[in-house]
Structure 1
């Protein structure tokens, strides 16, 4: 490939990847404002869960489709679906519409990151060049993680929330045109047996579980026929999924991996880590805006210390591991995570930004240590021919963990708010009548114009109630961190890895980046 053509192709790849990575963080600081306009605080976590669910479950299928039909075609199709979903999200008129369109957006996003990594490996002239480019991808992910929350806050504060989605359109279309014109692909078609049935069963099981967690206690009672039916459907679908995967020629998630102790423990840790990370990204901005009355920009700044400390820890982790080894470092990382999440339990209205930032830094240090060890340990333990799918399994279970974790925390928040807000609003019935009709309870705290109309006594009681509701979310995150620490006590005492065993260069670089 000529040098100029390669440069343009790489720029286009980085541009489309930046949009997908930005979209995973830019929404966090904008969602409180979205809820204030569309309503539906009880559906808050669905806007995150829908995106995570669809983007995660389709990743293995996209990889195999790319082997069948070519990376370029599948990347262009995935990116186009992502852009259509972005346009639809920006035009959503209700939370239900936004959730559906976020799911559509996720269907496209699931193609972008793995295929960009694969194409970069394809067009690199040497192992060294590939390593440099994968390092650029890791840096781009880190920058996007930091910029996303800030950019989301700035857009919401100075424009309007649909622009966090519309921003993708001109940049994404430019990237698609550049890829279509300049990227010339040569590939050898590989035959695969796609595990459609396994994908459908896993997706159905997770959707049933999410409905049980998010709607139970709000749309219907926990002990009711809808809840029991969803719980039964979840169990049956997971059982059938496990049976199908044992017989599938190329299973989406090979269950034999989890029979090996190191892989089972590492993936359990990845699942819980996903629960904690995505819950943190979802509910800390809600705390800053709803309890402390901060702007969306300030909510974005609250996440930055976590992302920066995580990125720095990931970069120096290889040096630390070479000296101390996997077991010690995973235990240290798990303990540090417990300390950081434990600090979040003490978040209150009067909590200073310095304390919030310190808690975010401590959590980032813990995340950075354990995330890279989970991936490297899995790669060391897996058989050579299974390294690729084993590596993918770690990312897969972390994203599923994020989907389920956000849903669990959403159910806890909904239940707490329902119990605490109603008595307060009933006590101030006359004041409530003077507010705009059908104002959702959460909007009393999330919409500045409505917030300014509230008497001081009512405002203080609502902030305390919201803070107490979020306290149970943070406490639940702490419980998950403690469970993760207990599991890590059984982590095998393996020597520090010298290099990633087997696998492609992209897998090694993915492990070294900590994602």
Structure 2
């Protein structure tokens, strides 16, 4: 591939990454306005859940199909589906319609990020890839920071519908550049798609995610709904494993997990998802509910984390090349653990500087770790498994985040129920004057209500929320420690020692053809 073609493909992939990253943060800012226009506040969470379910389940499926039929057609299909869902979401006339269209958006989004990372692995050799992965982490971090502010500007000055329509120019330009610049040569042969495996994986994961998303909120954890969904999830996953053992071309080859690097990177991705989703969900809650900040303050406090992540990811490429996967992952895990220990000591009097330092440490740790995981997995497999291997790292990250946040939400809800009730009972007169349309749990998150509370009452509630969040942060710290321990099982030494043997011939297409592997031209 020529240098000019690589530049064009890189720009196309960066636009695609921007597309995915913006959508994760920009919609949340617009949701209050959307509910105001469409109604259906009881369906609020499903706007996010529908997208999350479909985008998570399809990640490994797209990864496998990209290995069978090439990255380019799958990326273009996913982008087209994402844009179709975006256009439909922007035109939605009811909350029910919006949920359906968000699910379609998710079906497309499941292709974008993993295939972007896979194409990077294809067109750049290890030394180049280590630097480029940092660049793409920077795009993700910057887009995540811009997303909430951009969403606010769009809602204030245009219409909430443009939150979805803004995806269109990014997606169209990305697709056109990729069509022009990326030339793939894929070995053409008849494939046997693993339809039973695809169905069983989808059913098992949807049941699992649905159980965690709704358990403890729509119904109790011990209810028949939760038990039934968990039983369905276990049955689906067990049958999926049995199917994969006998499938001619399994959708998720179990042989991948005979490689120690892939197993440890998957565990690391799972932990990374728990911490990333947990921090971005519950540190803003601390800033707004305990520290009394605005919604803007709550969003901005993640700025140090989202800036430190891409910087450390860019540096991690050099560290991986010089010191290897284990050193880089351990460095990232240690920084994350130190940051999480600081978070564990958050209380109503915690200074802003203390919070920001903890965010920088966690962001730096996650940046070093995430790059090391992706590089180690891509370097350990041949071209015809790189798509599904890369997708698996994204899959485990999202699963970890979804399950982790659901468990943290249940912990916090239980803590608040236990701690808030005695306070409201003690301040009965003040509690009786609270607006009836504001739930007790949301008193601290509604500035007008919060500012009307007597100081003693307010401080009691803030202390109770802080104590409840302690148990959430404790779970995050334990997860970070588990991740740190797991990294000792990564092999030591230089990264190039563990490269798949075809890695050295990536830039010799004729040799790859002779070995019956598809190659990039």
Whole-Å Cα distance in 2 between the matches of residues 474 and 41 of structure 1? Answer: 28
Aligned to 2:337: 338
- 1:349-368 CA distance string (max 9 Å, x none): 32222111111111122112
State how far apart, in whole Å, the 1-side matches of 2:119 and 2:85 are.
Answer: 18
Q: Output one character per residue of 1:469-502: Cα deviation in whole Å (capped at 9) or x when no partner.
A: 2221111111111112222233333433379544
Where does residue 519 of structure 2 map in the other structure? none
Distance, in Å, in 1 between the alignment partners of 2:164 and 2:32 is 20
Q: Say whether 1:79 aligns with 2:75.
A: no
Corresponding residue for 1:19? Answer: 19
CA distance in 2, matches of 1:105, 1:404: 21
| Match in the other structure for 2:197 | 198
1:303 maps onto 2:302 in alignment: yes
Q: Provide the secondary structure at the position in 1 that maps to 2:90.
A: helix
Partner of 1:152: 148
- Aligned-partner SS, 2:302: helix
Does structure 2 retain, via aligned residues, the 8 Å contact 1:276–1:402?
yes
Q: CA deviation at 1:40?
A: 7.4
Q: Specify which of 163, 167, 185 is matched with residue 167 of structure 1.
A: 163
C-alpha distance in 2 between matches for 1:437 and 1:121: 55
Structure 1 contact 87–165 (Cα < 8 Å) conserved: yes
Cα gap change, 1:115/1:339 in structure 2, threshold over 3 Å: closer, same or farther?
closer
State the secondary structure of the residue aligned to 2:108. Answer: helix
* C-alpha RMSD of matched pairs (Å): 4.3
Partner Cα separation in structure 1 for residue 414 and residue 64 of structure 2: 41
In the alignment, the residues of structure 2 paired with residue 158 and residue 471 of structure 1 have an alpha-carbon distance, to the nearest angstrom, of 36
Secondary structure at the aligned position of 2:496 is classed as: coil
Query: Residue 70 of structure 1: which of 48, 73, 84 is its match?
Result: 73
- Cα separation, 1, equivalents of 2:384 and 2:176: 33
C-alpha contact 1:303 1:360 (8 A) present in aligned 2: yes
Q: Tell me how far apart the structure 2 counterparts of residues 120 and 419 of structure 1 sit (CA, whole Å).
A: 49
Does structure 2 conserve the Cα–Cα contact (< 8 Å) formed by 1:39 and 1:443? no
Q: TM-score, normalization: structure 1? A: 0.79
Provide the rounded CA distance (Å) in 2 between the counterparts of 1:241 and 1:35. Answer: 39
> Structure 1 residues 221, 428: closer, same or farther in 2, change over 3 A?
same
Q: Distance in 2 between matches of 1:92 and 1:342?
A: 44
1:308, distance to aligned residue in structure 2 (A): 1.9
Within 1, Cα distance between the matches of 2:44 and 2:341?
A: 26
Query: Matches of 2:394 and 2:321 in 1, distance apart?
Result: 23
Residue 386 of structure 1: how far off its partner (Å): 3.5
Residue number in structure 2 paired with 1:477: 476
Task: Give runs of aligned pairs for residues 226-245 of structure 1, distance below 5 A.
Answer: 226-245=225-244
After superposition, the Cα gap between the structure-2 partners of 1:415 and 1:478, relative to the gap in structure 1 and judged at 3 Å, is same
Deviates more, 1:476-485 or 1:140-149: 140-149
Q: How far apart in 2 are the matches of 1:206 and 1:170?
A: 31
Query: Alpha carbons of 1:43 and 1:247: their partners in 2 closer, same or farther (altered >3 Å)?
Result: farther
> For the residues of structure 2 that align with 1:392 and 1:17, how far apart are their CA atoms?
14
1:181-192 alignment to 2 at 5 Å?
A: 183=179, 190=188, 191-192=190-191
From 166, 172, 175, give the equivalent of 1:176: 172
My pick for the range that moved more, 294-303 or 304-313, is 294-303
Distance (Å, rounded) in 2 between the aligned partners of 1:217 and 1:391? 33
CA distance in 1, matches of 2:171, 2:284: 31
CA distance in 2, matches of 1:147, 1:63: 24
Give 1:91 shift: 6.6
* Distance change in 2, residues 1:175/1:131 (3 Å): farther
Match of residue 401 from structure 2 = 402
2:75·2:111 contact (CA, 8 Å) conserved in 1?
A: no
Residue in 2 that maps onto 1:512: none
Please give the residue correspondences for 1:87-106 in structure 2 after superposition, counting only pairs within 5 Å: 87=90, 102-106=102-106
Q: Normalising by the residue count of structure 2, what TM-score does the alignment of the two structures yield?
A: 0.79
1:108 paired residue number: 108
Deviation at 1:16, TM superposition (A): 4.8
